[in-house]
Amino acid sequence: MQENTVKKIVIIGPESTGKSTLTRQLAASYHTSFADEYARSYLESLDRPYVQADLPLIAAGQLALEEQAIATAGNGMTFLDTDLYVIKVWSENKYGVCDPSVLEQIARRRYDLYLLTDIDMTWEDDPLREHGTPEMRQYFFNIYLDLVQRSGTPFAIISGNVTQRLQRATNIVNML
């Protein structure tokens, strides 16, 4: 399927808010493809702490997964577990800047819908997660909310338990 005919739905939000679960559930419900978050597999394969220079590599890997999901999409849509906004936020928070190549890709990419996952899910500890306090979770939620509001792309906030989230997300996707 050609990229411009595939609806690209991004599930975005702070850490431990059910993005990966929701992405997979939606892809299964709509019998279509999805792209995992590349950062997780990249970081799990590192034998050292990540550094700023890793972020453009993670961005390239995320885009490759995204392109693969678009190419294999069924039913005219695909679901993406995050996009490059996540790398932008991550980089700016940790290093104070974002690599220009990542910002260029953000400016070029177009999506059809953002599903912003709320912080009302219980934090699950994970060695790759960094910001589990309620204050930091709210801080990052507010950053993502501002980003999707300013993106010009339709968005919806997805909250509730796993079942409620899937139902709300499905209702929103059906309206797309």
Domain boundaries, the chain: 3-175
The predicted model scores a pTM of 0.91
> What is the spatial distance between Cα 38 and Cα 66, in angstroms, rounded to a whole number?
9
Please give the average per-residue pLDDT across 86-91, as a whole number: 93
* Chain center to CA of 49: 22
Looking at per-residue pLDDT, the higher value among 148 and 47 belongs to 148
- Distance separating alpha carbons of residues 133 and 21, to the nearest angstrom: 21
Query: Residue-wise over 15-27: b if at least 16 C-beta within 10 A, else e?
Result: bbbbbbbbbebbb
Amino acid code (one letter) for 11: I
Per-residue pLDDT at 149: 96
3 state SS of 78: strand
Task: Report the pLDDT value the prediction gives residue 51, as an integer from 0 to 100.
Answer: 92
On average, the pLDDT of the chain sits at 91
Q: pLDDT per residue over 29-76, tens digit each?
A: 999 999 999 988 898 888 888 899 999 999 999 999 999 999 999 889
Domain 3-175 in this protein, CATH class: alpha beta
pLDDT at 133: 76
Decide if 123 contacts 132 (C-beta within 8 A).
Answer: yes
